[in-house]
Structure formats: structure tokens, C-alpha cells
Chain A
Amino acid sequence: MNPQRAVAVGLEGWQVQAGFATGFSGRIVEFVRLLRVNHYRVGIREAIDALRVAQCVDILDQRQLRWALRSLLCSNPSDWKGFDALFDSYWQRQSTGAIELTVSGRIERLEATAIAGRQAKTVNATDRRREEAGSDALRVGASAHEAMTRSDFRLAQLHENTWPLEQWIQALARRMRKRLLRRHHIRSLGHRIHIRRTVRRSLTYGGMPLDLIYRERRRELPRLVLIIDVSGSMNAYSYFFLRFARGIIDAFQNTDAFAFHTRLVHIVDTLREPDRHRLKEKLAWIAAGWGGGTRIGECLQAFNREYARRLVDSRTFVFILSDGYDTGAPELLGEQLRRLQQRAKRIIWLNPLLGRADYAPIAIGMQAALPYLDLLAPAHNLESLMKIEDMLLRL
């Protein structure tokens, strides 16, 4: 990069500073940083490569820089789709101040929704507190532990400290993993000879197969996809379901989670939040519900269209956690479930209302869904969540 080119670039209308070399490199590094803030998986190595690339492209041709950086810095389709907008907003602004604004604007928006969510939650919580103060007395158990496993999640939410319960949920997910692995191990003890290794070993004995080697089946955990209803009617449960999803995500490598009400949202990244207080807040925002009814059919359609091909295969268990109150067309729900069923190994519908003695799945949505489910099970307390594990083993 020589001064002559700096002038040429200036003519093109780019921002040129006195110390061009450091200025341009600085801009590249800053651009990489901008991408990082926007959740691109780029680090120092990418920044160094970006500088190398910038040296060999014809910087008079902005498109070349764009294409080269795009190949270098993107790593998945969503990066790819967002890249042009970020590139334009960064390189076509005159001052860098505007960029900082874009970034901080994003954060501010996030905070605004957070506050709204928090307010919504407080309102809901107080309502319920009044409403269900009476039924609280119904809980009688031999021990605190039993009370905790048996009590309905909707009651638990009233208590200030839900941490012990959350820890239980977390431990439950870990235990599920352990037992599934163990089951796989037992299953893999079948006796099939690994010919190649047996022959290989027999070389020691001049070709006589003395040591037989058995084939070990690869351990494969099922892949799980959780689709969680966070609509208004699920308000009392969705926080715990999200917490459960977090436990599952920690314990199983191949897991994905979505939340829906009228729209489907991919929430795995949110669920991975390491800090437990921040996680709690975030989950509370999601669980606070966004109102406006439930469109299970449409959300599943969106899932089938955009994610199913990538996430669901013949080893996948799809969990739908919902009460089945659907404001959309039941035919659509049935049709989408049918499609999903063709792809997935099993579809399991967990319905918290099943835990109530007087409930029968007669909601139209539930009726439309029933033929395509491999299992419909209650999920209103810890005990019912624990049973899922047995069901997974049997299915």
C-alpha cells in the first residue's frame, strides 16, 4: 500500500486519513471487530488474514474487497446473508461514529424488549399470586424433596427461590444422558467380528486368527429438538420448560431449541448463557410470553421449511412442549406434523395440562395432532419430566 494508491482511493470517495497505511489496516481490523459484535465467528487470526487479503485485492474495486472478505469472514448461510448490509454500513459511511451507533443501537433495542418483558412478568406473577394463593395450601408432602418433585410447576413459580428446583432440572438432564449412554453401551455388546482387525492381529501369529476382535458399535446419542410454546396460556410453565431445555442442551451435544407463540424463534444461543442470573433474566423475558395467541401450525410450517432439513433426521426426537391451544387452522397443524413425522424418529408432545385430573385432550389443535404423535405425555412437574427418560429408552 503506497501513498499514490491512497490518493486514488481518496478520489473514489473513501475516507482517507493522513497515515493511510495504519488507517486502512485499522479500518479492516475494526470491521472484523464489528462482525464479531454481530456474532460472526471471527477472531484475531481472521483479522490477520483479512489484512493479508486486503493487500492483494485491488482496493480501487470495492466489490473485490467485499467478495474476498465475505469468503474469508463468513462461515454459515446466515452470516452470508447479513454480510452485505454490514459491509455497506461500515465501508460507505464517512465517519466511524455511525457504526458504533449501529452496534449500540442493537444493544439498546435488546434492552428495551428486556424491560418490557420484565414488566409483563411482574404483572403476571402478582395476578397469579392472588389467584392461586388458596391452592398453595393443597400441597402436602412427606418431605421437602417429594413436595418438590410432585408439585406442579405453576405453583413453584410463586416462590421466590426457584434455584433448588432448577438445579434438579439440570441434574435430571445430566442423568438422562448418562442412562442413555449406558443403554447404548449395553446394546453395543453384540458379538460381531471385526474382520479387518482380526486379520491384522493374526499377522503376529503367521496368519492364524487366534485373537478375535469384536466390532464395537459407535455410541450415538439421539439428537433432540425441543419446540417450546411460550404463548400466554403456557405462562406458568414456559420458564421451567426453558430451564429444562437449557439442561438438555448442556447434557446433549446435538440439541436444538425453539420457542414459539405466533412466530418461531431459534433460542439455542440465548439458552447457552453461562451466567446463571443473566440466564434467569433472559429465560424470564422469553417465558413472559408475547401475547397474541398461538399459531402452532404456522410455526411448525416455518420449522419444517427452514430448519427441519438440517436438524431433523431419522435419529431425531422432536419434543413439542405445548398445551395445544391453537388459534390457527387445525388442518395445517396436522399436515405439518405429518411432514415432520416422516422426517423424525419420534415426535413427543409434552402437555402440562395432562397433569390435571380433569383434563382430556379435546382442544381442536390437540385433536388434529394426535394421529401423528408417537407419545403424548404430561409435563407439569419434576416427576413427569423424569419419566421422559424412561420413555426415550423404550421408544
Chain B
Amino acid sequence: MRAFADTEEFIGTLEQAGYIAERGLAVALLLMAQLKRPLLVEGDAGVGKTEIAKALATAHSCELIRLQCYEGLDVNAAVYEWNYQRQLLAIKMRETQASSLAEKERHVFSEEYLLQRPLLQAIRRSQSPVLLIDEIDRADEQFEAYLLEVLSDYQVSIPELGTICAVSIPHVVLTSNGTRELSDALRRRCLYHYLDYPSYEKELRIVLRRAPGIDERLAGQIVTFVQKLRAQELQKRPGTAETLDWAAALMRLGVRSLDATPDFIADTLACLLKTREDLAAMPPTVTARLLAQSV
């Protein structure tokens, strides 16, 4: 087994898919395929957790199935649901037919009337898809416990149909923003990666990759400025997604260099700072100082 010999190659594949990964993450992703275990990615908002799954799907050239978690998410929305309207219609239509009751019931509870939700879809594909379970911390504890069961056995039981086993084991990526503490059991079940804010070099590469046509000098200034901004005492620090938004906004305004048009910084700062307190904490004098350090 030499699964990790091609780490470099895999990083290249990910980069082609539009994702700049550090080697630690690439190793974790390879390990995930090797051990057939889910990967739990934690980190602040906007550091590119969700993007990992998208890039992974492109890299493996397989389907991406996404399950967005929210408070109150239940099995009906995540795994399966019967199509009640169609079932009712079918019963009405068959009322006059001379088939037995058991037969009618079997018909109504056949796969034809089963609505597959993301978790069930993911285990029934012939080629392993990437299953992204986004913001698992938003779901309730009950759902987390259920998910743990699915992720360890890769099977789902539906009372009317029986147990459905996985055709292929999906590549599962879970993301968490840390709004709730996850259970130890789930954490132990998963591989773990903590995604930090990117370094200057990495972020610069991301900007150059994702904002095509950007002037290299401007990109450098943008990244330096954002990195300096992150070091400030802020309520919500800007993530990579915000950097890209800002870069796009500046390009749209036709900015060539940050120092030539300092006014634009104040105008577009809303791309980076998303709360009133943070905006108030960064008056033009402060941004001018940060800018002076950046160019």
C-alpha cells in the first residue's frame, strides 16, 4: 500500500478543481479514502470548508450530494419519505381492482413511492459519491446520534421496506462551525482536520486562481491588507470568501492599486466586515494605517 506516494499529484488534481490545499489536508483526504472514514472539518466561517467537498467531487469526478443541516432536521428530510399524495391516488385508483389487500399494500409501499433524501441517495449510488453534511453542529443531538449510526454501518432501515445496505460507501465530509459542541462519539468516528485562515502565500494563490485577470500587485496588496485586518480585534474576522468578494468588488470598480485609490477601501469595506461594531472599529484612519503597512 503506497497510497500517499502520490500526495503531490493529488494536490495538483485538487488545484485543477479550483482548490488550493496544503499538504496536510491532502494527506487527510487520501487517508479518508483509504480508511473509508468520514472527515470532520472545523474552522471559522469562510475558510473554505464547504469548498473541500466540491473540490473532492471534481477530483474524484463523482457526484456531490449535499445535506444542509438545520435545527429540527429530521429523518424525513434527511433520509427518506413516502410520497403520500401518490400513495393516496394509487389507493383510490385500485379501489375497484380485485387484488388482495396485502397486494395493494405491497404496491403502495414499493420503491415507486419512496422519495429518497440525501443520505439514502448517497448510499445507493453505484459509484461512490461525495456526501457533504454541511454545518452538522446546527442539527439537533437526536439527528447527530442517528447520523452516527448511518455513518458506521452505512445502512438505513425503512420499516415498510426492510434494511437498505450501501451499494457503495460514499466519501463523507462533515463541516462544523463550532456553534455547538459535537458528541465525542461522532468526533471519534471521524477523521479530523482543522482549517485555519490561510497563510499569505496560500491566500495569494487562491486569489490569483479564483479571481482571474487580477493584477498580481493588486492581489498582493489585497491579501496583505486582509491578513493585517485579521490580526485586529474583530467580532467576525473576514475569511477567504470575503477576500475573494472584495477582490471582485475592487476589480469591478476598476481599481489598479490600493494606494492610488484609498477612498475605495472605505467604500468597499462592507465586503470584509459584516457587523456594525466591526465597521465602527475600523474608521478611515485605521484602514489608512493598515494600508500603509500593506503597500
Q: Are A and B associated in one complex?
A: yes
Name A residues whose Cβ lies closer than 8 Å to a Cβ of B. 41-43, 45-46, 49, 52-53, 55-58, 63-64, 67-68, 70-72, 74-77, 79-81, 196, 199-200, 203, 206-207, 218, 253, 309-311, 313
A253 CA to B184 CA, complexed, in Å: 13
A217 CA to B53 CA, complexed, in Å: 34
Contact present for B88 and A203 (CB under 8 Å): yes
Contact present for B28 and A75 (CB under 8 Å): no
Known A71-B28, A72-B31, A313-B179; contact A77-B4, beta-carbon cutoff 8 A: no
- The majority secondary structure among interface residues of chain A is helix
* B148 close to chain A: CB less than 8 A: no
Known A67-B28, A70-B24; contact A200-B84, beta-carbon cutoff 8 A: yes
A57 neighbours in B (Cβ, 8 Å): 4, 27
Q: Which of A56, A196, A310 contacts B4 (CB 8 A)?
A: A56
Chain B residue with the shortest CB-CB distance to A305: B233
Min Cβ gap B95→A in Å is: 7
A67 neighbours in B (Cβ, 8 Å): 23-24, 27-28
* B271 close to chain A: CB less than 8 A: no
Min Cβ gap A65→B in Å is: 9
B39 neighbours in A (Cβ, 8 Å): 71
Contact present for B184 and A41 (CB under 8 Å): yes
Chain B residue with the shortest CB-CB distance to A42: B188
B289 neighbours in A (Cβ, 8 Å): none
Known A58-B4, A206-B91, A218-B140; contact A71-B84, beta-carbon cutoff 8 A: no
* B210 close to chain A: CB less than 8 A: no
A74 CA to B193 CA, complexed, in Å: 8
A64 CA to B1 CA, complexed, in Å: 14
How many chain B residues have a CB neighbour from A under 8 Å?
42
* B98 close to chain A: CB less than 8 A: no
Min Cβ gap A59→B in Å is: 10
Contact with A along B48-89 (1 / 0, CB 8 A): 000000000000000000000000100010000010100110
Min Cβ gap A272→B in Å is: 13
Contact present for A68 and B4 (CB under 8 Å): yes
Chain A residue with the shortest CB-CB distance to B190: A75
Contact with A along B107-140 (1 / 0, CB 8 A): 0100000000000000000000000000000001
Contact present for A41 and B188 (CB under 8 Å): yes
Name B residues whose Cβ lies closer than 8 Å to a Cβ of A. 1-5, 7, 23-24, 27-28, 31-32, 34-35, 39-40, 42, 72, 76, 82, 84, 87-88, 91-92, 95, 108, 140-142, 178-181, 184, 187-188, 190-194
A41 neighbours in B (Cβ, 8 Å): 184, 187-188
Min Cβ gap A323→B in Å is: 29
Chain B residue with the shortest CB-CB distance to A71: B28
Of all A-B residue pairs in the complex, the 5 with the closest CB atoms, nearest first, are A75-B187, A71-B28, A80-B194, A67-B27, A67-B24
Interface contacts beyond A56-B4, A68-B28: sample of 13 additional A-B pairs, CB < 8 Å, sorted by A: A58-B5, A67-B28, A70-B192, A71-B27, A71-B28, A71-B39, A72-B35, A72-B191, A75-B192, A80-B192, A206-B91, A218-B72, A309-B178
B76 neighbours in A (Cβ, 8 Å): 196
A42 CA to B7 CA, complexed, in Å: 26
B82 neighbours in A (Cβ, 8 Å): 200
Q: Which of A43, A55, A68, A76 contacts B1 (CB 8 A)?
A: A55
Q: Which of A43, A55, A71, A196 contacts B192 (CB 8 A)?
A: A71
Contact present for B7 and A64 (CB under 8 Å): yes
Contact present for B88 and A199 (CB under 8 Å): yes
A71 CA to B191 CA, complexed, in Å: 5
A72 CA to B27 CA, complexed, in Å: 11
Contact present for A207 and B91 (CB under 8 Å): yes
B180 neighbours in A (Cβ, 8 Å): 310, 313
Min Cβ gap A255→B in Å is: 11
Q: Which of B24, B84, B142 contacts A199 (CB 8 A)?
A: B84
A81 CA to B42 CA, complexed, in Å: 13
Contact present for B91 and A46 (CB under 8 Å): no
Contact present for A46 and B188 (CB under 8 Å): yes
A218 neighbours in B (Cβ, 8 Å): 72, 140, 142
Min Cβ gap B75→A in Å is: 12
Chain A residue with the shortest CB-CB distance to B43: A77
Known A58-B5, A196-B76; contact A71-B193, beta-carbon cutoff 8 A: yes
Contact present for A309 and B31 (CB under 8 Å): no
7 example contacts (A-B, Cβ-Cβ < 8 A) are as follows A53-B31, A56-B34, A58-B5, A72-B191, A196-B84, A203-B91, A310-B178
Min Cβ gap B27→A in Å is: 4
Q: Which of A74, A207, A253 contacts B194 (CB 8 A)?
A: A74
Contact present for B187 and A76 (CB under 8 Å): yes
A41 CA to B1 CA, complexed, in Å: 27
- A68, A218, A311, most chain B CB atoms within 10 A: A68
A77 neighbours in B (Cβ, 8 Å): 42, 178, 194
Q: Which of B4, B34, B92 contacts A64 (CB 8 A)?
A: B4
B32 neighbours in A (Cβ, 8 Å): 71
A310 neighbours in B (Cβ, 8 Å): 178-181
Chain A residue with the shortest CB-CB distance to B193: A71
A202 CA to B84 CA, complexed, in Å: 10
A39 CA to B36 CA, complexed, in Å: 26
Contact present for A79 and B192 (CB under 8 Å): yes
Contact present for B192 and A52 (CB under 8 Å): no
A338 CA to B230 CA, complexed, in Å: 23
A42 CA to B191 CA, complexed, in Å: 12
Contact present for A206 and B95 (CB under 8 Å): yes
Known A218-B140, A310-B178, A310-B180; contact A53-B91, beta-carbon cutoff 8 A: no
A67 CA to B4 CA, complexed, in Å: 11
A35 CA to B3 CA, complexed, in Å: 25
B24 neighbours in A (Cβ, 8 Å): 67, 70-71
A56 neighbours in B (Cβ, 8 Å): 1-4, 34
A258 CA to B166 CA, complexed, in Å: 44
A276 CA to B107 CA, complexed, in Å: 61
Chain A residue with the shortest CB-CB distance to B192: A74
A229 CA to B35 CA, complexed, in Å: 46
